[in-house]
Amino acid sequence: MQFKKVLDEVKIYEAGKPIELVVREYGVDVKDIIKLASNENPYGTSPKVTAKIQELAKNMFMYPDDSMFELKDALAKKFDMESSNIIIGSGSDQILEFAIHAKCDENSKLLMSKTTFAMYEIYGKQTGATIIKTEDDQHNLEQFRKLYKENGADIIFLCLPNNPLGECLDTKEVYKFLEEVSPETLVIVDGAYQEFAAFKDENKKIDAKDIISKFPNVIYLGTFSKAYALGGMRVGYGLANKEIIKNLYKLRPPFNITTLSLAAAIEALKDEDFVSETIKRNFEEMKRYEDYAKTRGFSYIPSYTNFITLKFDDKYISAEVAQSLLKRGIIIRDLTSYGVNAIRITIGRKEQNTRVFEVLDEVLESLN
């Protein structure tokens, strides 16, 4: 059977390894496994959300409100926008998929950083579009400018902060760059980790309403998977001008999130204290990773997210470090597939991080 030729160039997205796999393959007791590979919120979901889900579990047989009125209304109030500026997706990556398929075909060009969220390239290649990447791993707007001037682009991706590395551009830099972009080029500002960046540094904060008002060719993506701790519920959103949203709705299937996902997101927005507290703890614990890297003599990328990238240069091979940690029940993300000799570690709870340092010490000593 033949399929679209462009699929020959598409790589399958590699998700973080699940706990169940480590139990099966390495015989590690499930209680001894620490999963810090997928940037989930280590403090779990808000108790208020859990209570609401338990209350509404009896409604699982019913389809959700496909207008998603209550969630869009809550987001509209949060961002001081209208509901017509909002689209809800099964994770923000579904909206990313809508945008790429709405805009691109085999004649299109997509511009992105060399090392960034893999789904930009995967969805792009599904359409047959040409992928253009900067030379630098981290976002370098001078390189973006040069490549855009030379090649043009139908879509530009700015991941702010960037996954999987953690760096984040200053807002002023972003605005200056956007002023140079044609209004016919769609710019996707991926703000999956914006809550963390805005907490750490006001200069990194993207005001969704402001950026969309100033640049009608921008769509801002947000998610409930990270700071709001709803990774398993798969709820994301896109904010943009009404014309963009109207066209994306033409690709949206009915009931694209579940009844319980919808309820969870609505309730999560009501508990901002939970979000603030978990973000505060995140950066307190991140400091321990920074200190550990300095003590061990390897570098790290200053992070504005809920994870940190530790770079080994020529001291260690990241794939060997990751595999050794996995055998000991510590699940992290090896970045070899991105062409980077580094590991990405989600910032866990205090006791989890203490255990990571202990095991990582053992691993690094064994590899010396």
- pLDDT surpasses 80 at 14: no
Q: Is 339 exposed, middle or buried (0-12, 13-18, 19+ CB in 10 A)?
A: exposed
- pLDDT surpasses 80 at 322: yes
- pLDDT surpasses 80 at 24: no
Position 9 confidence tier, pLDDT thresholds 50, 70, 90: confident
The answer to which of 15-29, 101-115, 147-161, 270-284 has the lowest mean pLDDT is 15-29
> DSSP of 9-46, one letter per residue?
GPPPP-PPPPHHHHHHHH---GGG-EE-SS---TT-S-
Give the torsion sign (CA, 6, 219, 39, 256).
Answer: negative
- Of 210, 212, 222, 206, give the one whose Cα is nearest residue 244: 212
Tell me the average pLDDT across 97-118. Answer: 96
Cα–Cα distance measured from residue 112 to residue 218, given in angstroms and rounded to the nearest whole number:
15
pLDDT in tens, 346-357: 999 999 999 999
Cα–Cα distance measured from residue 212 to residue 69, given in angstroms and rounded to the nearest whole number:
21
Torsion angle of alpha carbons 55, 58, 61, 67, nearest 10°? -30
Decide: 217 and 189 in contact? Cβ < 8 Å. no
Decide: 185 and 153 in contact? Cβ < 8 Å. yes
- pLDDT surpasses 80 at 115: yes
Model pLDDT, residue 2: 77
The helix/strand/coil state of 251 is coil
Tell me the average pLDDT across 353-362. Answer: 95
Highest mean pLDDT among 10-14, 235-239, 318-322: 235-239
Tell me the average pLDDT across 185-189. Answer: 98
Tell me the average pLDDT across 187-206. Answer: 98
Strand partners, 130: 109
Does the pTM of the predicted model rise above 0.85?
yes
> DSSP of 193-205, one letter per residue?
THHHHHHH-GGG-
Model pLDDT, residue 23: 64
Q: Which helix (H) or strand (E) holds 72?
A: helix 69-79
Report the side by side order of strands in the sheet with 342-346. Answer: 299-301, 307-311, 342-346, 333-334
Compute the residue count for the chain: 368
The answer to which of 6-15, 178-187, 251-260, 286-295 has the lowest mean pLDDT is 6-15
- Walk me through the domains of the chain, giving residue ranges and CATH numbers: 5-45+273-367 (3.90.1150.10), 47-271 (3.40.640.10)
Cα separations in angstroms, 271 against 44, 228, 278: 13, 9, 12
Cα–Cα distance measured from residue 49 to residue 263, given in angstroms and rounded to the nearest whole number:
8
Cα–Cα distance measured from residue 268 to residue 59, given in angstroms and rounded to the nearest whole number:
19
Q: Which residues are within 8 A (CB) of 121 and not within 5 positions of it... i.e. 6 or more apart?
A: 11, 110, 112, 131
The helix/strand/coil state of 167 is coil
Model pLDDT, residue 203: 97
Position 22 confidence tier, pLDDT thresholds 50, 70, 90: low
The helix/strand/coil state of 318 is helix
Instruction: Please state, rounded to an integer, the average pLDDT across all residues of the chain.
Output: 94
Model pLDDT, residue 32: 77
Model pLDDT, residue 363: 93
